Amino acid sequence: MTLRLRLAHTADLGPAELVAIRALLDAAFDGGFSDEDWDHGLGGMHVLVRDGSALAAHGAVVMRRLRHAGRWLRTGYVEAVAVRADARRAGLGGRVMAELERVIERAYDLGALSASAQGAPLYTARGWRRWEGQVCALSPKDGIVRLPEEEGSLYVRPAPDPADALVLDWRDGDVT
């Protein structure tokens, strides 16, 4: 089977493609992919890998602002990375990430993502570094708030100095 990779902005995805992406994500995350998670992956660039007509893998990069050392950085934030169960361990996650990393390197100051313990090996093998500093968010109600529960699951590339916290822009649902 020939694999086809497509890079497209959310605006260029048709309704059937969006339904297929959401179905892949729901299946890959065993129902743990919320409506807020879905919203976080929209509005940026998507990588779709098809084997024939079926969607085998997906990932997205969206723009966020992260503050580090007093400077707000244009950040390519990786979201909604998944590979269909029967297509795993065939390098598709790496193909998706290679294309997302190309976009990040050409368009952003920083790349960032939040990874589960199961997903982290894919990212660390590709040069992503676990953020060792504090993780904060700019809350609309309380200003800058520390998010200790998110520390240890945030990965960046390139890795800035961890002596200064990373402050994420606010969003509904999971902030990271």
Domain-located, residue 175: no
Domain-located, residue 58: yes
Domain-located, residue 23: yes
Domain-located, residue 136: yes
Residue 164's pLDDT band (cuts 50, 70, 90) = very high
Residue 101 pLDDT > 70: yes
Structure tokens at 168: 């994420």
* Sequence-separated (6 or more) residues with CB below 8 Å from residue 60: 10, 41, 42, 44, 45, 46, 47, 78, 79, 80, 81, 100
Q: How far apart are CA 22 and CA 108, in angstroms?
A: 26
Domain-located, residue 173: no
If you average pLDDT over residues 86-111, what whole number do you get? 97
pLDDT in tens, 7-34: 999 999 999 999 999 999 999 999 899 9
Q: What region, left, alpha or beta, does residue 80 occupy, with left being phi > 0 and alpha being psi -120 to 50 degrees? A: left
pLDDT in tens, 66-84: 999 999 999 999 999 999 9
Domain-located, residue 176: no
Domain-located, residue 55: yes
Number of structural domains in the chain: 1
Query: Is 166 in contact with 134 (CB distance < 8 Å)?
Result: yes
Structure tokens at 67: 């503050």
Give the domain extent around 108. 3-168
What CATH number is attached to the domain comprising 98?
Answer: 3.40.630.30
